[in-house]
Structure 1
Amino acid sequence: MKSRDLSIALLVVVIWGVNFSVIKIGLETLPPILFSALRFAVVAIPAVFFIPFPKTSVWNVLGVGVFLGVLKFGLLFIAMKADASAGLSSLILQAQVFFTIGLSVLLYQERISRYQALGILVAVAGFGLFFLDAGGNITAMGLMMILAAAFCWAIANTIMKRMQGVNLLHFMVWVSLVPPLPLLLISYFTETAQPLDVLLAATTDTWQALLYVSYISTLLAFALWGYLLKSYPAATVTPFALLIPVVGMFTSTLVLNERMTVTEVAGAGLIFAGLSCCILGGRLMLAKSRTARQQL
Structure 2
Amino acid sequence: MKLADLLQALAVVIIWGFNFVVIKVAVSEIPPLALTALRFAWVALLVAPFFRPTRAQFGSIAGLALVLGLGHFGMLFIGLRGTDAATTALMIQLGIPFSVILSTLLFADSLGKVRLIGLALAFSGAGLLAGEPEGGTPLALLALLMSAFCWALANVLIKRRSDIHPLTIIGWMSLLAMPILIAASALFETGQLAAIRSASGQAWAALGYVVVGSSIIAYYLWYRLIARLSINQVVPFSLLAPLLGVTAGVLILGESFTLYKAIGGALTLGGVALIELHQAHLRRRKAALVDN
Larger mean CA deviation between 247-256 and 105-114 belongs to 105-114
Does 2:210 correspond to 1:213? yes
The verdict on how the C-alpha distance between 1:132 and 1:67 changes in structure 2, with shifts beyond 3 A counting, is same
Q: Cα offset for 1:235?
A: 4.0
Task: Check the 8 A contact 2:57/2:164 in 1, yes or no.
Answer: no
The verdict on how the C-alpha distance between 1:262 and 1:2 changes in structure 2, with shifts beyond 3 A counting, is same
Larger mean CA deviation between 144-153 and 267-276 belongs to 144-153
Aligned partner letter, 1:271: T
Q: Distance in 2 between matches of 1:245 and 1:276?
A: 12
**2:188 matched to which residue of 1?**
190
Q: After the TM superposition, which segments of 4 or more aligned residues of structure 1 sit over 6 Å from their partners?
A: 285-288
**1:293 matched to which residue of 2?**
none
Q: Cα offset for 1:237?
A: 2.9
Match of 1:138, SS state, is: coil
Does 2:158 correspond to 1:153? no
TM-score (norm 2): 0.89
Does 2:99 correspond to 1:100? yes
Map 1:120-199 onto structure 2 (within 5 A). 120-133=119-132, 135-192=133-190, 195=193, 197-199=194-196
Q: Cα offset for 1:267?
A: 0.7
Larger mean CA deviation between 266-275 and 49-58 belongs to 49-58
Write out per-residue CA displacement over residues 193-227 of structure 1, whole angstroms, 9 at most, x where no aligned residue. Answer: 662x3322111111111111111101101122234
Does 2:283 correspond to 1:277? no
Q: Say which structure is richer in helix.
A: 2
The verdict on how the C-alpha distance between 1:251 and 1:163 changes in structure 2, with shifts beyond 3 A counting, is same
Identity %: 33
The verdict on how the C-alpha distance between 1:240 and 1:163 changes in structure 2, with shifts beyond 3 A counting, is same
Does 2:237 correspond to 1:240? yes
Aligned partner letter, 1:137: G
Task: Check the 8 A contact 1:136/1:261 in 2, yes or no.
Answer: no
The verdict on how the C-alpha distance between 1:131 and 1:111 changes in structure 2, with shifts beyond 3 A counting, is same
Aligned partner letter, 1:153: W
Q: Cα offset for 1:46?
A: 4.2
**1:53 matched to which residue of 2?**
53
Q: Distance in 2 between matches of 1:157 and 1:236?
A: 13
TM-score (norm 1): 0.87
Aligned partner letter, 1:263: Y
- Number of residue equivalences: 285
**1:258 matched to which residue of 2?**
255
Instruction: Compare CA radii of gyration and give the structure with the larger one.
Output: 1
Match of 2:175, SS state, is: coil
Write out per-residue CA displacement over residues 40-68 of structure 1, whole angstroms, 9 at most, x where no aligned residue. Answer: 11111142222121685322111111111
**2:87 matched to which residue of 1?**
88
Write out per-residue CA displacement over residues 20-59 of structure 1, whole angstroms, 9 at most, x where no aligned residue. Answer: 0000010121111110000111111142222121685322
Q: Distance in 2 between matches of 1:274 and 1:284?
A: 15
Aligned partner letter, 1:19: N
Q: Distance in 1 between matches of 2:10 and 2:109?
A: 30
Q: Distance in 1 between matches of 2:76 and 2:179?
A: 18
The verdict on how the C-alpha distance between 1:71 and 1:2 changes in structure 2, with shifts beyond 3 A counting, is closer
Q: Distance in 1 between matches of 2:207 and 2:62?
A: 23
Match of 2:163, SS state, is: coil
The verdict on how the C-alpha distance between 1:140 and 1:191 changes in structure 2, with shifts beyond 3 A counting, is closer
Report the RMSD for the aligned CA atoms in angstroms.
Answer: 2.3
**1:294 matched to which residue of 2?**
none
Task: Check the 8 A contact 1:95/1:147 in 2, yes or no.
Answer: yes
Structure 2 portions without partners, runs of 5+: 286-292
